[in-house]
Structure 1
Amino acid sequence: MSDDSLDTPEREPAGPETSANEKAYWSQNIRLLWTLMTIWFVVSFGAGILFRDFLDQFAIGGYPLGFWFAQQGAIYFFILLIVFYSVRMKQIERQYDLDD
């Protein structure tokens, strides 16, 4: 049995076109991550600590808003960020033809 009988597809080396496509994909991916991490920091540190006194002027369910954000609101917001990240990454992967 010769090696020619094995039907193994050979990959062509990636050209400059693919490299530019990959760079654009990763650039968009990293930009999205930095944006969401900044929002995450502002919500967790800002709403729960820095802006707590201002937010305590308002109430949700009888609790001061600053306290609510520090205890529960930030968690809900983080879940929304995860869902947004997942949806947005699917769009980015489709844009660069990397989806499954």
Structure 2
Amino acid sequence: MADNKSASAYWAANVRIITISLVVWFVCSFGLGIILRPLLKGIHIGGADLGFWFAQNGSIYVFLVLIFVYAAKMNKLDREYGVDE
């Protein structure tokens, strides 16, 4: 990354990936697990309602997926801007 314009574009893309990841994290953990839990009461997974499942198990699975998606997207972004290892 030689110029300031390229560094700004890289940082903007990085912040966009982080923002999307945080929104997904918030919707899954707080939205589905807490706020929308009463609406998800009728749907059952493994003997528990869907809201409880997201609060206890689903959010962990989503977080793990987010880690791998973030790593893949950042590797792609690094290669695109020539800052990969």
Give the TM-score normalised by the residue count of structure 2.
0.93
Q: Compare CA radii of gyration and give the structure with the larger one.
A: 1
Q: For residue 68 of structure 2, what is the aligned residue in structure 1?
A: 83
Matched residue, 2:42:
57
Residue 91 of structure 1, CA deviation: 0.4
TM-score computed with the length of structure 1 as normaliser: 0.80
- Aligned-pair CA distance for 1:89: 0.2
Aligned pair count reads 85
2: CA distance, partners of 1:73 / 1:52? 13
Q: How does 1:1-100 map to 2 (within 5 A)?
A: 18-100=3-85
SS at match of 2:82: coil
CA distance, structure 1, for counterparts of residue 65 and residue 40 of structure 2 = 21
Any runs of at least 4 consecutive aligned residues in structure 1 with deviations exceeding 4 A, and if so which?
A: none
CA RMSD of aligned residues (A): 1.3
- The 2-side partners of 1:28 and 1:45 are apart by 25
Structure 2: where are the runs of 5+ without partners? none
Percent of paired sites with the same residue = 42
What is the CA–CA distance in structure 2 between the aligned matches of 1:65 and 1:38, rounded to whole Å? 20
- What is the letter of the counterpart of residue 68 of structure 2? V
Letter in 2 for 1:41: F
